[in-house]
Amino acid sequence: MEEQKQEFSQFKGQPRLPKFAIPNCYDLKLKPDLAACKFTGAVDISVDVVSVTKFLVLNAAELSVSPDSVNFTSNNKVVEVFDVEMCEKDEIIVLEFEENLPLGVGVLSMDFEGTLNDKMKGFYRSTYEHNGEKKNMAVTQFEPADARRCFPCWDEPACKATFKITLEVPAELIALSNMPVIEEKINGNLKTVYYQESPIMSTYLVAVVVGLFDYVEDHTPDGIPVRVYCQIGKVNQGKFALDVAVKTLGLYKEYFAVPYSLPKLDMIAIPDFAAGAMENYGLVTYRETALLYDDKHSAAANKQRVATVVAHELAHQWFGNLVTMEWWTHLWLNEGFATWVSYLATDRLFPEWQIWTQFLEESTEGLRLDGLAESHPIEVDVNHAREIDEIFDAISYRKGASVIQMLQGYLGPECFQRALATYIKRYACSNAKTEDLWSVLQEESGEPVKRLMNSWTKQKGYPVVSVRVEGQNLEFEQTQFLLSASRGDGQWIVPVTLCCCSYDARKSFLLQTVSGSLDLKEFSCASVSNVSSWIKVNVDQTVAGTRKLDGPIVFSVSALIPFRVANAESAALIFGVLSFLRYLNGPAKGSCERRSANGNVASLSVVVPNCVPAKSTTALAN
C-alpha cells in the first residue's frame, strides 16, 4: 500500500473524519465530580488501522487531552505520539505519531478532562432538590454530535462500536448507563461501577446518568426488566409510563418480528432536559413532563403525551438504534418512522383516543412549513455536524411520518409490515440509507417504490390534486402548493386510492404525470341510473397533500351530508385539507364527522349522488 504525504493542515475544515482507522470497541472510564462540576476520564479504543498513516483524527470538543497519556499499542509494540493538536473550530483532535501505525488492530489510549456544563448537551449537570437541599446530577445528551464533549471518539453515526463503560461515583448515588451493572466495588466514599459490554452502536446513543433516584420496575413476558427512574417522592408518577413501555416492547417485537435487543430498559426523568426525550440505547432520557403522569392532578392530554412519547422513543430502539442511519442526511428515517410507528402502538393500546384522527391534524404542521418557499426536502444533504440541528423540525417528524403513512396505505399494511421486518433483519447492527429501505419495500411489493418516494423525500413541497368529471372519466391534475400563491414547478408521483359506494370496493393507481384520468366505467357501482352512487378519493386520507374539488359541486335533496362549499379553492390552497374542511359551511344537521380530542374536525366523509351534469364534481377527497 502506497504511502501518501499527510500533514495537519489537510484535516482542518473537513466535514467528515478521514477513515484511516475504524473503531471497534471503546473501554471508557468516567469520574464526574458533582461538587466541582468537572469530570475526568480515560479511554482505550480498539481500532482497525486500514490505511498507511502517521495520523489519527477523532472528534473532541471542550476537552483537555493530556499529550503524555496518548499512545498507540499494536502487537505489544507502543508507538509514541509526536504531536497532539486540538482544532476547536472543527471539533477534532489530530494525533501525529512518530512513525506509521501498524496496519490491523491496535489500541489508542488517552486521558482527558472536561466540565459538566450547563448547556444541556454533552456531559452536563442538572439540578434537583432532596430534603430541601439543591443537588447536582450528571447527565449525557449526545445527539446529534455531542459525544465528543464527553470523550474523544469517532462521533459519526456510521462509526459503530461496542462500549465497555466504567463509572467512579459517590457511593450513595445511582449510576446508570446503557447496559446492566456487572460489578460494583466500594472504596470509602466512592464506588466503581462496571457495566456489561454493549452491542455495536453509534456514539450518539451512549448514555450516562448519575444522581439520587427512586424507581418502579416491571418485566416483559420475555423477562426483560423495565424500570422508570425519577426523583425520590415521585415514583408513583412513573407507573403509567412503565405500563406503556412494557406493552409497547411486546407490540414492537410482534410488528417488527425482531425482539428488543438489550438485556434491560431504563427510562429516566431529568429535571433539566432540552428535548422532549432521547432514545439512548437501553437508557432513555426524558423531560419530566414527557415521562411522569399524576392521575390525580395531571391533565388527560398529558397522559396521551406520555404514551406517545414513550412509544416514539421505544420505536427508536429498532428504527435508529438497531438499524441506524448512515449519515444525518437520512435523519428522517429515524424521526419520521418513529413518529409514525408511535401512533400505531398508541392506537393499539388506547383505541378510544382515536389517535389517527389526531395524526391527520398534527401532520398539517409539517405541511404548513412545507408550503413556504424556504422549506426543505424531507431528506436534506448534511455536509457538516453543525448543520444537523437545523433539520430537527416538523418536516423531519410530521411530513416524514405522513409520507410513510401514504406509502403504507398504498402498499397495504401486511406488505408494508413484512418489508419493515425484512429491512430490520437485513440491516440490524449496521447502518442504512433511505435508498436501502426503498429497495426492500420495492422487492416485497413489486411496486416502483424508489421512484415514487424519491419524488416525496428529495424535493420540497407537496401537490394540490384537482379532481373533476369529464364525460365518463375522472380527471386528475396536480400543481405544487405554495403559501405565496405563486406557481411552483414541483411534480410528484401520487398514490391515489378510491372507493365506490362501499369502502370494500377500492381501486389504487399512481398519478405519475401532471395530469391523468380514470375511466368511471371501471367502477361497476358508478352507474348514472343509480342516483346514490358515489366515489370517494384519497380513502383514509393517506396522501400527504391537498385535494381540491374543481367545478361546481351539486347535491341532490337526498344527499347524506347536505352542505355547501364556501371559498373551497382558496381554503384548500392556503391551509391544506383540514382548514379546507373548516371552510365548509356546516356541517348541517345529520352530518357525519370525526373530531379529535380538542374538538377540531380531523376528517369528514362526504357522500355525493352520481346524478349531476357532466363536468361537475362527483368525487370528493376526505
pLDDT of residue 613: 31
Distances in Å between the alpha carbon of 72 and those of 4, 27, 54? 20, 14, 11
**DSSP states of 408-422:** HHHH-HHHHHHHHHH
Domains in the chain and their CATH numbers? 1-211 (2.60.40.1730), 213-318 (1.10.390.10), 324-457 (1.10.390.10), 463-621 (2.60.40.1910)
Tell me the average pLDDT across 133-144.
97
Which strand ranges, in their side-by-side order, compose the sheet holding 277-278? 214-219, 225-230, 265-270, 283-287, 277-278
Taking the C-alpha atoms of residue 449 and residue 435, their distance in angstroms, rounded to an integer, is 10
Question: Do β-strands 494-500 and 535-537 pair in parallel, antiparallel, or remain unpaired?
Answer: antiparallel
Say which residues have a Cβ less than 8 Å from residue 553's Cβ, sequence separation at least 6.
Answer: 564, 565, 568, 608, 616, 617, 620
Q: Reduced to 3 states, what is the DSSP secondary structure of residue 187?
A: strand
Between 602 and 521, name the one with better pLDDT: 521
On the question of pLDDT at 88 being above 60, the answer is yes
What span, in angstroms and rounded, lies between the C-alpha atoms of 152 and 172?
29
Cell, residue 145: 454530535
- Band (pLDDT 50/70/90 cuts) for residue 544 is low
Chain-centroid distance, C-alpha 408: 17
Residue 406 has pLDDT above 70, yes or no: yes
Q: How confident is the model at residue 69 (pLDDT cuts 50, 70, 90)?
A: very high
Contacts for 46 with CB less than 8 Å, ≥ 6 apart? 23, 24, 25, 26, 27, 105, 106, 107, 161
Band (33; pLDDT cuts 50, 70, 90): very high
pLDDT in tens, 386-403: 888 877 788 888 888 999
- 573 pLDDT band, cuts 50/70/90, is very low
CA atoms in the 13 A half-sphere facing the CB of 289: 11
Look at residue 4 in the predicted model and tell me its pLDDT. Answer: 55
Three-state SS letters, 441-467 = HHHHHCCCHHHHHHHHHCCCCCEEEEE
| Statement: residue 35 has pLDDT above 50 | yes
Q: What whole-number distance in Å separates Cα of residue 540 and Cα of residue 41?
A: 54
Q: Which residues are catalytic?
A: 313
- Region of poorest pLDDT, from 155-164, 467-476, 560-569: 560-569
Contacts of 112 (CB under 8 A, 6+ apart): 40, 41, 42, 43, 60, 63, 64, 65, 66, 151, 152
Is pLDDT at 52 greater than 70 in this prediction? yes
* Three-point CA angle 376, 377, 379, nearest 5°: 125
Q: Are the C-beta atoms of residues 147 and 112 closer than 8 Å to each other?
A: no
Contacts 24+ apart (CB under 8 A), 292-299: 292/230, 292/234, 292/237, 292/238, 292/241, 293/237, 293/240, 293/241, 294/236, 294/237, 295/240
Integer Cα distance of 559 and 561 in angstroms: 5
Q: Which of 124-128, 308-312, 375-379, 555-559 is predicted least confidently?
A: 555-559
State yes or no: pLDDT of 437 exceeds 50.
Answer: yes
State phi, psi for 455 to the nearest 5 degrees.
Answer: -70, -20
Lowest mean pLDDT among 183-192, 196-205, 241-250, 482-491: 482-491
Query: Residue positions in the annotated binding site for Zn(2+)?
Result: 312, 316, 335
d(CA 130, CA 598): 37
> CA angle, corner 145, sides to 141 and 147, nearest 5?
55
pLDDT classification of 540: cutoffs 50, 70, 90 = low
pLDDT in the model for residue 465: 87
Angle at 209 between CA 206 and CA 213, to 5 degrees: 145
Q: Give the phi and the psi of residue 467 in degrees, each rounded to 5.
A: -125, 130
**Model pLDDT, residue 499:** 78
Residue 197 reports pLDDT greater than 90: yes
Q: What is the pLDDT of residue 256?
A: 98
| pLDDT reported for residue 602 | 27
**What's the pLDDT score for residue 396?**
80
Task: Flag whether pLDDT at 552 surpasses 70.
Answer: no
* pLDDT band per the 50, 70, 90 thresholds, residue 555: very low
CA 156 to each of CA 18, 496, 519, 542: distance values in angstroms, whole numbers, following the listed order:
11, 39, 52, 34
Rounded mean pLDDT of 584-599?
A: 34
Q: What is the pLDDT of residues 262-286, one digit of tens each?
A: 999 999 999 999 999 999 999 999 9
Q: CA separation (Å) from 344 to 321, 413, 441, 557?
A: 19, 11, 19, 39
The band of 250, judged by pLDDT with boundaries at 50, 70 and 90, is: very high
Do 151 and 15 meet the contact criterion of CB atoms below 8 Å apart?
A: no
Share of the chain above pLDDT 90, in %: 64
pLDDT at 158: 97
Per-residue pLDDT, 5? 65
Q: Summarize the annotated binding site as residue ranges.
A: 312, 316, 335
The angle that helices 400-411 and 434-445 make with each other, rounded to 10 degrees, is 10
pLDDT value of position 430: 97
> Per-residue pLDDT averaged across 416-445, rounded?
97
Say whether pLDDT at 257 is over 60: yes
The pLDDT of residue 542: 57
Distance (Å, whole) CA 393 – CA 572 = 23
Q: Give yes or no for residue 447 having a pLDDT over 60.
A: yes
Residue 540: which of 373, 389, 400, 412 has the closest Cα?
412
| DSSP code at position 553 | B
d(CA 49, CA 109): 14
| DSSP annotation string for 355-394 | HHHHHHHHHHHHHHHHTSTT---SS----SGGGGGGG-SH
Among 111-115, 234-238, 284-288, 355-359, which is the least confidently predicted range? Answer: 355-359
Is the bond preceding 144 in cis, omega lying within 30 degrees of 0?
A: yes
H-helix or E-strand spanning residue 205: none
Lowest mean pLDDT among 177-181, 264-268, 310-314, 464-468: 464-468
Average pLDDT, rounded, for the chain: 85
Which comes out higher in pLDDT, residue 19 or 364? 19
Query: How far is Cα 406 from Cα 317, in angstroms, rounded to an integer?
Result: 23
Helix axis angle for 413-427 and 434-445, nearest 10°, is 130
pLDDT confidence bin for 93, thresholds 50/70/90:
very high
Q: How confident is the model over 205-228, as a mean pLDDT?
A: 98
Residue 432 has pLDDT above 60, yes or no: yes
Average pLDDT score over residue span 368-374 = 82
pTM of the predicted model, to two decimals?
A: 0.87
